[in-house]
Each structure stands twice: as structure tokens, then as C-alpha cells.
């Protein structure tokens, strides 16, 4: 049998094309096989994380409701950290467990008797929920700080076995580990405690959301998260990014080994490292740091509802106020408040007029003061049930002349 030249050429071309086609099919099958393996791995990882989140949700829903008033707790353990920080583990004195759940980022309110005087102080929970104990971390303040005596009391007086009165977890600076949006957590110094609680909760829930954790301290002597950072990095999660920032490293500390970035946790750092601004931002640290981040994120186009500050130390916005006379009956003082002001409590403390305070965000009621005359306006809703004829100076300003029983 003979074939025309044209047909022979056509067969050669088809054979060559078929070879290419076969090669392409083989390559595609190989790639598809690899993709199937990768997809199976991703699916297994996804199922593991999903089961972890379901387990977390089930555990939280099974826990008892929070108590009202105060409950007695015993110090089970205390641990000295770096940077003048000490952590305390509290267990219920009545030994009734498990403990009620709390939202990561919330705080405990302590009712203390120091030298015959009553004090109320709030400290952020510094870990995710554990059924048997609550954990806080307290920095020993300097004498110029308003809470120096209370922090000193925790550091120097409270020992293992001591009993304290504690109100149930509270606060609105919280994160739900079950949500799926990308999140940036940032903290500096002891301000890291509430975002540390958030981070631990996300890890416990095996969250698949994109997570960036920025931790700023002066140097290694203040670094209290070495073990935690190591544990997080050893997880090897592609969605988890941890950045340690030193502002003033010690001479023997090196970038890439002891810390990741030199400087501070600020907008410039976030813009340089984050892939976009499409995150929810949670931050706690010194007031200037938080104000700088809030301003920088706003300039970056991040909507205000996606920027969350810890209320204890967030920078308060001063508001304009007409000239008003504020009288303090017990102190026999009548002062003029005018221009810009933050709260009545800040004004009183600035004038060395003592009004007890705790959370300073209208939750605990420690500053509740009798309003003898006049009216006040609240800058935010009070979570504490204010008694008739009283006010919470920590979140209000006068409307006209007022007289306080302080």
C-alpha cells in the first residue's frame, strides 16, 4: 500500500501533535495528582480546625453563667515575669468548678481592702479560658502612677493561699474566636495581656483566620512571651504571623534571633508588613501608642468600627464645654470647668480631689458619687446600674453648674 506524500506529512504532524498531547495529558495528570494530595491535606487541616472550633464552642456553651456581686478566690500560684510583671492564678475558694467562660480580652474586677481603705481595680485576664483558674498579670507601677499602691499590694503583699474578692469577668474589648475575619493583635509592655488572651483563644480554637500578632517591648529583659512565641511558631500555621519588636535592644541582642523588628509598633510598621489594611485591629498599650495607631489606621483608610482599643488606657477625646461651676461639697471647693474636658473624674483628680475609681469606663461603679445639685451627660452608656441621685464621674460631664458630694 502506498500513501501520497501529503498524507504522509499529515500523519507525521498528527503523530507529533499526539505526542505533545500525550505529554500534556501526562503533565496535567501529574499536576492534578499533586493538587489532589494538596487538597486532601488542606481538607484534613480544615476538618481538624473546624472540629477544634466546634469543641471550643461546645466547651464554652457548657460552662456555668457568671456570678453576681463578688466571689471569693484563692491565689493558687504566682509567677514572676520580666519587666516588673507578676502573674497570678486564682481558683474559687468554694472549689466549685468549672469556672464561667469569658470573652477573650475581658477583665476581672478586684475589691480590695488595703490599710483599712477600700479599693476597686480591674486587671485584664491574660490567658484564654481554663475551667479551673483565672489568670491575670500585674505590672508594678512607679510611685507617680495612680495605681502604684494597688500594684505594690499585689506584688509585695498577696501570696499563694491569700483570699480576694472578685467580680465576674466584664468588659467590651473582646474578640470572638469563632469569627472568620482577618485580625491584627498588637500590644506593648503589660498592655499585651488582653490581646494575649485573644491570641491564646484563637490558637485554642485552631482558628483558620489570618492572624498577625505584634508584640512591642524595650528589650529581652522585658520580654515575657518567649515561650509562647516559640510555641506559636512551632505550630507552623501559614495563617499565623508573629512579630516581636524591640525599641532598645541590649548590646548582645540581635535582630533575627532575639527580635524581629527594631523600633515600635506603629502605623509605619503595620503598613510595611501587612499585605493590606483589610483587617480588624485590636490594640492595647501606652496611650500614645494607641492614639498613633488609631490616627495612622484612619489615614490608611481603615474604618473606625474595625479599630478596637482597650478602654482602660485608650486616649480619651476631650470635648468642648461651656464655662461651668463644679462644686465639691466635702472638699469645700468650687472650681470652674471650661474649654475642653474629658470627664468629671479626670477633672477632680487633676485638682487633687479624691474620688475612688476602678475601671474608669462605667462598668464597676467604684466612682459612683452623689449628685447633690445639677445634671450630667454621659459620654457613653453606663453598664453599672447608677443609683438615683448619683452619677458616674468616670464617663460623664456636667450640663450646667453641678454640686458633687466629694
Express each pLDDT in 304-350 by its tens digit. Answer: 999 998 755 445 677 888 889 999 999 999 999 998 899 999 999 89
Are 34 and 92 contained in the same domain? no
Are 277 and 239 contained in the same domain? yes
Express each pLDDT in 165-215 by its tens digit. Answer: 999 998 889 999 887 799 999 999 999 999 999 999 999 999 999 999 999
Are 387 and 289 contained in the same domain? no
pLDDT at 7 over 80: no
Are 221 and 299 contained in the same domain? yes
Bridge pairing between strands 70-80 and 117-124: unpaired
- SS3 of residue 189 by DSSP: helix
- Whether omega before 98 lies within 30 degrees of 0, making that bond cis, reads yes
- What the block records as the C-alpha cell of 30 is 501529574
Structure confidence at residue 71 as a pLDDT band (50, 70, 90): very high
Residues 79, 378: Cα–Cα separation, whole Å: 40
Residues 250, 220: Cα–Cα separation, whole Å: 7
Structure confidence at residue 395 as a pLDDT band (50, 70, 90): very high
Final residue before a domain boundary, out of 309, 331, 359:
309
pLDDT of res. 314: 47
Are 86 and 118 contained in the same domain? yes
Are 269 and 212 contained in the same domain? yes
Rg (alpha carbons) of the chain, rounded to whole number: 29
- The fraction of the chain above a pLDDT of 90, given in percent, is 64
- Mean pLDDT, rounded, of the chain: 87
Domain span at residue 145 reads 70-170
- SS3 of residue 179 by DSSP: coil
Are 212 and 291 contained in the same domain? yes
pLDDT at 139 over 90: yes
Torsion sign across C-alpha atoms 76, 79, 83, 84 = positive
Structurally, the chain folds into a number of domains equal to: 4
- What the block records as the C-alpha cell of 306 is 474595625
Are 332 and 378 contained in the same domain? yes
Residues 92, 111: Cα–Cα separation, whole Å: 15
pLDDT of res. 86: 97
Closest of 238, 169, 234, 231 to residue 207, by C-alpha: 238
- C-beta of residue 364 within 8 angstroms of C-beta of residue 355: no
Final residue before a domain boundary, out of 40, 62, 84:
62
Q: What angle do CA 291, 185, 247 make, to 5 degrees?
A: 65
Are 6 and 24 contained in the same domain? yes
Closest of 215, 211, 233 to residue 279, by C-alpha: 211
Express each pLDDT in 213-245 by its tens digit. Answer: 999 999 999 999 999 999 999 999 999 999 999
Are 271 and 381 contained in the same domain? no
Express each pLDDT in 355-379 by its tens digit. Answer: 988 778 888 888 999 999 999 999 9
Average pLDDT over residues 36-55: 64
Are 54 and 81 contained in the same domain? no
Measured in degrees and rounded to the nearest 5, phi and psi for residue 310 equal -70, 125
pLDDT of res. 11: 42
Residues 148, 405: Cα–Cα separation, whole Å: 26
The reported pTM is 0.76
pLDDT at 33 over 90: no
pLDDT of res. 369: 96
**Ramachandran class of 54: left when φ > 0, alpha when ψ lies in -120 to 50, beta otherwise:** alpha
Structure confidence at residue 17 as a pLDDT band (50, 70, 90): very low
- What the block records as the C-alpha cell of 120 is 476597686
Q: What angle do CA 85, 160, 117 make, to 5 degrees?
A: 75
Residue 142 included in any domain = yes
Residues 105, 172: Cα–Cα separation, whole Å: 8
pLDDT of res. 10: 45
Express each pLDDT in 94-138 by its tens digit. Answer: 999 899 999 999 999 999 998 888 888 899 999 999 999 999 999
The CATH number covering residue 368 comes to 3.10.20.30
- SS3 of residue 302 by DSSP: coil
Residue 176 included in any domain = no
Final residue before a domain boundary, out of 16, 44, 62:
62
Average pLDDT over residues 270-287: 95
Number of C-beta neighbours around residue 66 at 10 A: 14
Q: What angle do CA 127, 71, 158 make, to 5 degrees?
A: 65
Residue 23 included in any domain = yes
Average pLDDT over residues 28-38: 67
pLDDT of res. 254: 97
pLDDT at 88 over 90: yes
The CATH number covering residue 139 comes to 2.40.30.10
Residue 314 included in any domain = no
pLDDT of res. 162: 97
Closest of 200, 69, 83 to residue 137, by C-alpha: 83
Q: What angle do CA 290, 293, 298 make, to 5 degrees?
A: 130
**Ramachandran class of 206: left when φ > 0, alpha when ψ lies in -120 to 50, beta otherwise:** left
Please state the separation of Cα 356 from the chain's center in Å.
26
Are 198 and 301 contained in the same domain? yes
Residues 157, 74: Cα–Cα separation, whole Å: 14
Amino acid at each position: 500500500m502506498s500513501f501520497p506524500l501529503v498524507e504522509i506529512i499529515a500523519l507525521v504532524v498528527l503523530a507529533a501533535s499526539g505526542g505533545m498531547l500525550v505529554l500534556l495529558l501526562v503533565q496535567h495528570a501529574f499536576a492534578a495528582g499533586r493538587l489532589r494530595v494538596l487538597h486532601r491535606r488542606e481538607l484534613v487541616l480544615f476538618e481538624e480546625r473546624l472540629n477544634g472550633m466546634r469543641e471550643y464552642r461546645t466547651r464554652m456553651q457548657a460552662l456555668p453563667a457568671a456570678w453576681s456581686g463578688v466571689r471569693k478566690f484563692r491565689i493558687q500560684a504566682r509567677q514572676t515575669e520580666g519587666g516588673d510583671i507578676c502573674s497570678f492564678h486564682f481558683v474559687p475558694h468554694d472549689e466549685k468548678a468549672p469556672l464561667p467562660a469569658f470573652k477573650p480580652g475581658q477583665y476581672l474586677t478586684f475589691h480590695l481592702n488595703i490599710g483599712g481603705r477600700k479599693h476597686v481595680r480591674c486587671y485584664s485576664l491574660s490567658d484564654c479560658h481554663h475551667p479551673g483558674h483565672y489568670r491575670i498579670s500585674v505590672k508594678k507601677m512607679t510611685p507617680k502612677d495612680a495605681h502604684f499602691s494597688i500594684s505594690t499590694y499585689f506584688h509585695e503583699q498577696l501570696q499563694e493561699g491569700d483570699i480576694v474578692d472578685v467580680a465576674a469577668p466584664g468588659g467590651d474589648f473582646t474578640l470572638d474566636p469563632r469569627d472568620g475575619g482577618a485580625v491584627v493583635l498588637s500590644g506593648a509592655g503589660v498592655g499585651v495581656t488582653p490581646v494575649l488572651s485573644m491570641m491564646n483563644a484563637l490558637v485554642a480554637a485552631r482558628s483558620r483566620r489570618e492572624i498577625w500578632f505584634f508584640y512591642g517591648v524595650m528589650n529581652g529583659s522585658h520580654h515575657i512571651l518567649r515561650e509562647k512565641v516559640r510555641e506559636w511558631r512551632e505550630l507552623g500555621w501559614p495563617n499565623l504571623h508573629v512579630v516581636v519588636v524591640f525599641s532598645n535592644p541590649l548590646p548582645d541582642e540581635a535582630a533575627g534571633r532575639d527580635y524581629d523588628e527594631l523600633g515600635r509598633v506603629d502605623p509605619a510598621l503595620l503598613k510595611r508588613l501587612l499585605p493590606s489594611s483589610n483587617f480588624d485591629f485590636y490594640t492595647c498599650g501606652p496611650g500614645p501608642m494607641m492614639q498613633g495607631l488609631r490616627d495612622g489606621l484612619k489615614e490608611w483608610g481603615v474604618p473606625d468600627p474595625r479599630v478596637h482599643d482597650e478602654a482602660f488606657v485608650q486616649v480619651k477625646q476631650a470635648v468642648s464645654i461651656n464655662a461651668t461651676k463644679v462644686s465639691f461639697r466635702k472638699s469645700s471647693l468650687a472650681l470652674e470647668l471650661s474649654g475642653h474636658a474629658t470627664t468629671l473624674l479626670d477633672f477632680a483628680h487633676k485638682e487633687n480631689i479624691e474620688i475612688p475609681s476602678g475601671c474608669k469606663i462605667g462598668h464597676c461603679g467604684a466612682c459612683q458619687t452623689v449628685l447633690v445639685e445639677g445634671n450630667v451627660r454621659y459620654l457613653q452608656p453606663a453598664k453599672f446600674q447608677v443609683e438615683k441621685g448619683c452619677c458616674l464621674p468616670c464617663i460623664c460631664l456636667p450640663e450646667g453648674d453641678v454640686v458633687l458630694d466629694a
